[in-house]
Structure 1
Amino acid sequence: MNGLLEFVFENVPPLKVAPCVLSLIGHERNVKNVIRDGDEPLAISDVVDAGFWRRLASQEEDVAILLNMEEVEIGTRLIRGATLQVIHYGNLNDLVVFLSSEDCRKGGMVRSEDMYEWAKSVADLFEVANFFGGLEPANDEQTQLFLASGVGLIQGI
């Protein structure tokens, strides 16, 4: 399976958005660039500040933030070329990690079970009830690698 992989964490509690995002970022040097609402560049120093994410998670205005990163740590593996999208709409906060299947294979992340275990650990740590992942769009059951209840129809990439 080749293509873009999408790992979705739905309705992250507002108080958990900052620690979750900062955990996925890891460190400031990991962030290559940041864009708000599709075209407005943001300073990298803003998105490594927990206060930025706390304000975003509780504001009235809908917003989408896209962070292009050097890598993301999935379990014990580092996967290059990660993108993190944080979407705040209404009173909800969704986090989405995008990875290429090729970068996952290069990083040794090929089994759905491993991806599920990582996603479950993130969901448990940050109190996220619903999460799923698969070939983009990840909500397509036919190409899901995992969902909150376990491994999906696709066993690996």
Structure 2
Amino acid sequence: MSNLLEIVFEGVAKSSVIPLLMQIINDPKNICSIDCSENISFATKNIFDPQFLNAVLEHDGDICLFLHLESLGINTEILPLVLLRIIKYGYQYDIDFSFDINKTEKTDMASLIKNLFSYASKLANDFVVVNYYGGMEPASDTNTRYFTNDKLGPLLP
């Protein structure tokens, strides 16, 4: 089984993509690098530049924006070395993040999962995301999930 844990927000409304992204990032100093699957010509790939983000959202075709974060604060947890992605396919938008559970300082997996579940549930509620889930990568596999929407399981520590 993979050591990567993934949290996915599917079908994010276009109007919620940027606010949800900013809520997850929280502190711009945590961004190590930004990459994009497509060549978007901008002088700088500044995630806090509305023109850059709008260019990604308005891109004519599918696109993925990769943000490499030094860390991500989740309630009482600090997750090191997180990959955050915005994926646009057609007119759909997904946001996900993943990290290596072996790199976390937390040894209590049950507490980590509860914090992630609480965090994801709050974000989904705040930004009206109907479908969200978390599990071992790939979390799209329902057998490797710790939670799906507001329900825990089938994997539990």
**Same fold by TM (over 0.5)?**
yes
Q: Report percent identity of matched pairs.
A: 25
Partners in 2 of 1:61 and 1:133 — Cα distance? 27
Once the two structures are TM-superposed, the CA of residue 2 in structure 1 deviates from its matched residue by: 5.8
Partners in 1 of 2:94 and 2:13 — Cα distance? 9
Secondary structure of the residue that 1:81 maps to in structure 2? Answer: strand
Partners in 2 of 1:52 and 1:80 — Cα distance? 26
Could you give the per-residue CA deviations for residues 35-74 of structure 1, whole angstroms, max 9, x where no partner exists?
A: 1007889877521234433443344321101110011111
5+ residue gaps, structure 1, are: none
The question of 1:133 aligning with 2:115 is answered: no
- 1:1-157 aligned at under 5 Å gives the runs 3-37=3-37, 46-104=46-104, 106-107=105-106, 110-111=109-110, 112-156=113-157
The 1:114–1:79 alpha-carbon spacing in structure 2 relative to 1, beyond 3 Å, is same
Partners in 2 of 1:136 and 1:153 — Cα distance? 14
Residue identity opposite 2:23 in structure 1? S
Worse overlay, 46-55 or 16-25 = 46-55
Secondary structure of the residue that 1:60 maps to in structure 2? Answer: coil
The 1:55–1:145 alpha-carbon spacing in structure 2 relative to 1, beyond 3 Å, is same
Partners in 2 of 1:61 and 1:69 — Cα distance? 26
Instruction: Give the TM-score taking structure 2 as reference length.
Output: 0.86
Once the two structures are TM-superposed, the CA of residue 125 in structure 1 deviates from its matched residue by: 1.1
Residue identity opposite 2:142 in structure 1? E
Count of aligned pairs: 155
Secondary structure of the residue that 1:124 maps to in structure 2? Answer: helix
The 1:140–1:42 alpha-carbon spacing in structure 2 relative to 1, beyond 3 Å, is farther
Once the two structures are TM-superposed, the CA of residue 16 in structure 1 deviates from its matched residue by: 0.7
